[in-house]
Chain A
């Protein structure tokens, strides 16, 4: 579940839910993560030695969240991740099968027409300040989210299909939606529930609880020193199994080299999303290898290059495929990603039922590309060294953002390759906010980004033709067959049947090649061996509330 939010990952990033209580459960099955935990495998929890209650986990964070109200703009990945420990939603995704499992709701029923959802709430749940949790809090949360005066433009879209939220009694809430949609249950159960009694007084947008949230979760916030650190402490009166660690400390270290140094010094227990070079450098250190697990866990993003179909030259699928065949993806993975990522062929999460493993990436084949271009009518008729057609030269600009050196290297590779194929390519880099604005306005020839890989997501906001103006279909992909498949999938409630539709859709994407899929990006992390209960969701997030200190108390 989890929203198809802003599936962009550039400076910020990723959003996700989760799973709790590791005790009874086997480790997340291999089903969702065929290649997960390669490199070094995680030791099974049972072999991680005796568990000690208490202790502190120090997590390095590269950016600081703007606030801890995950409903408000901007939708911030780190803020949502921290809020997960403090707030709870009606249900949380189980990382093994990605289905909602009860949290604040004990059970729920869905009507025959998939438009009415009745939730029975858990009794005896208390907010961190001791006040009881009731259906009023749920109704209040959704009212706020739908209120146009609330700064929630990023999240509001996900609750728009909800037409009614009613508290039938203090422990029953009913939702009605305008039309059947498979994602609706996920969207409802994934919203963090807020305490009405705290937010009722004051302005929701600027409320002090946005920095000092009062939740129902396994951790409470005790301190947030801006620009320095944020500390959570265990909620001892949690209704379920309490967390094991007493303290989670999120330490803000913006500089990557300093973060790495702090790992070496033993000043941090967890660092995530390391660059390939840095991960290799750190894992070479033998002394460090004794103390840390090095993890190359789940594929959490997909890097691509998009061809704007509003530009006449890219309106022809043959030209788009030729572009792909001019890009040596194996070389990119080997040299720019140090072999740690995997060339991609399907748009869906590797290992999920939607992922079509029979699709193979188009080969790197400059001769084949030249043939395709000739078929499409591009020839160098005027002998100036650049292909042309009807008096127009095959020339374009590759636009990329400044936030990652990878783009610079990509641009160099691509321009070299394309120039050899008689295509006049220039490249231009733009600052992030300017870059995304240009994409949104479809004002580019070719661009590159990372989409967040989701274990199960709805491709509609990115690929439906109606998303050209209203969503993230920036490359302007417009295909009647694709539209039909995407619409049909939205009303299919059986995952296997839906997956079959999405597999057909992804085969269609492969033929049409609106974007060139470069590689699936893997999350590279290091975690101190002092801790057990270490696992990651398919989103690549650790669940620190299941971590514990291994061995006798120190």
Chain B
């Protein structure tokens, strides 16, 4: 696949995602006007005036076209609700989310990869089994419950203030991925360890450490990287639950609140950002994969 084709692919997907979101948010039932307390005095005239003030009088294609053009220069318009530029909202939310998601992604991979390799290659079957089961249980703990329990216990213990600390939200975003990726890494490592190449290397009498490094790890480490492409948009989209419990104003809460209030410009801005991140990370993951795995290069 040529580079130009990949870029065109990304651009078309972006257009499709944003156009669909735009249409959906316009045809969703409910009105941003009545989503707020003015509902009590709303009548057709005040509602029409409200929409007029926000440039809602034009046809849908015109509105979408205008949005698309402006968004190319990173101007996503103003929030229906508080009239601040959407860009300000996005910068604030992305700041918190990048910090938390970035830390969570690093922590997840830093722990999951060695753990997965250890579980696959360890000879201490009992310990590995215990750790493995522990991961399995962790994987099953729903975040909404885990986050609340973690928040309440840590706060009650007085170790950390109830809010304002980034440690707890990072932990909550780390553990589901940790369990998932460690188990994935374990499977990939086992598969690599059982490959004919490793068998051959052993038969030739190569030292075990060299076999592990050159044949097992080289092959096994590419596997979780492709998961990163799926993990990143999920992390950057923000977690409504974690953000709400720990009072983080991130992408999750921003998007969630905007959808509930039918704040179309914010919904569109957030969608555009997450879509771009998702598309670019899948692009980057593909490229990385190709570098590490010669079979993909062709």
Measured CB to CB, the residues of A under 8 A from B are 4-8, 12-13, 15, 66-67, 72-77, 148-149, 151, 153-154, 156-157, 205-206, 210-211, 226-228, 251-255, 257-258, 261-262, 264-265, 267, 431-437, 439-440, 461, 469-472
Contacts and interface: CB of A to CB of B under 8 A. Distances in A.
Given A255-B244, A262-B155, A434-B29, A149 B37 contact: no
B246 to A, nearest CB: 8
Given A228-B247, A440-B39, A265 B262 contact: no
A434 to B, nearest CB: 4
Contact of B42 (A66, A432, A440): A440
B152 interface: yes
Contacts of B33: 73, 153
B2 interface: no
B245 A6 contact: no
A13 B79 CA distance: 21
Contacts of B151: 257-258, 261
**Residue from the set B78, B83, B158 with the largest chain A CB neighbour count within 10 Å:** B83
11 contacts: A5-B37, A12-B37, A154-B38, A227-B92, A267-B162, A433-B34, A433-B261, A435-B30, A436-B30, A436-B34, A469-B43
B43 A261 contact: no
A12 to B, nearest CB: 5
Contacts of B162: 253, 258, 261-262, 265, 267
Contacts of B164: 228
Q: What are the 9 A-B residue pairs with the smallest beta carbon separation, nearest first?
A: A227-B249, A6-B40, A74-B36, A154-B38, A433-B35, A66-B82, A433-B30, A434-B30, A6-B37
Contact of B247 (A74, A253, A439): A253
B34 A154 contact: no
Contacts of B37: 5-6, 8, 12-13, 15, 74-77, 154
Contacts of B83: 67, 72, 151, 205-206, 210
Nearest to A257: B148
A89 to B, nearest CB: 19
Nearest to A470: B43
Contacts of A469: 43
B269 interface: no
A537 B29 CA distance: 38
Contact of B50 (A5, A73, A265, A267): A73
Interface of B: 29-43, 46-47, 49-50, 53, 78-79, 81-84, 92, 96, 148, 151-152, 155-156, 158, 161-164, 244-249, 253, 260-262
Contacts of A227: 92, 96, 247-249, 253
Contacts of B39: 6, 8, 436, 439-440, 472
Given A67-B83, A254-B247, A265-B155, A432 B35 contact: yes
Nearest to A158: B41
A365 to B, nearest CB: 33
B150 to A, nearest CB: 11
A262 B41 CA distance: 37
Contacts, number: 156
Contacts of A72: 83
A535 B43 CA distance: 37
A153 B37 CA distance: 11
A72 B96 CA distance: 28
A74 B245 CA distance: 25
B81 A66 contact: yes
Contacts of A12: 36-37
A4 B32 CA distance: 21
A282 to B, nearest CB: 14
Contacts of B156: 261, 264-265
A461 B41 contact: yes
A60 B29 CA distance: 33
A66 B49 CA distance: 20
A511 B43 CA distance: 29
Contacts of A211: 84
Contacts of B161: 267
A261 B245 CA distance: 11
A7 B84 CA distance: 26
A205 B55 CA distance: 14
A226 B81 contact: no
Contact of B34 (A75, A262, A437): A437
A381 to B, nearest CB: 37
B41 A440 contact: no
B157 to A, nearest CB: 10
A148 B35 contact: no
Contact of A252 (B46, B79, B152, B247): B247
Contacts of A440: 34, 39, 42
A157 B84 CA distance: 24
A265 B158 contact: yes
Nearest to A4: B40
Contacts of A435: 30
Contacts of A261: 151-152, 155-156, 162
B153 to A, nearest CB: 10
B29 A154 contact: no
Contacts of A73: 33, 36, 38, 50
Contact of B41 (A67, A154, A264): A154
B38 A153 contact: yes
Given A226-B92, A255-B245, A437-B30, A74 B38 contact: yes
Given A73-B33, A253-B163, 13 more contacts: A5-B41, A75-B37, A77-B37, A151-B83, A157-B46, A253-B247, A254-B247, A261-B151, A261-B156, A431-B30, A433-B261, A436-B34, A440-B42
Contact of B38 (A6, A210, A267, A471): A6
Contacts of B152: 257-258, 261
A262 B245 CA distance: 12
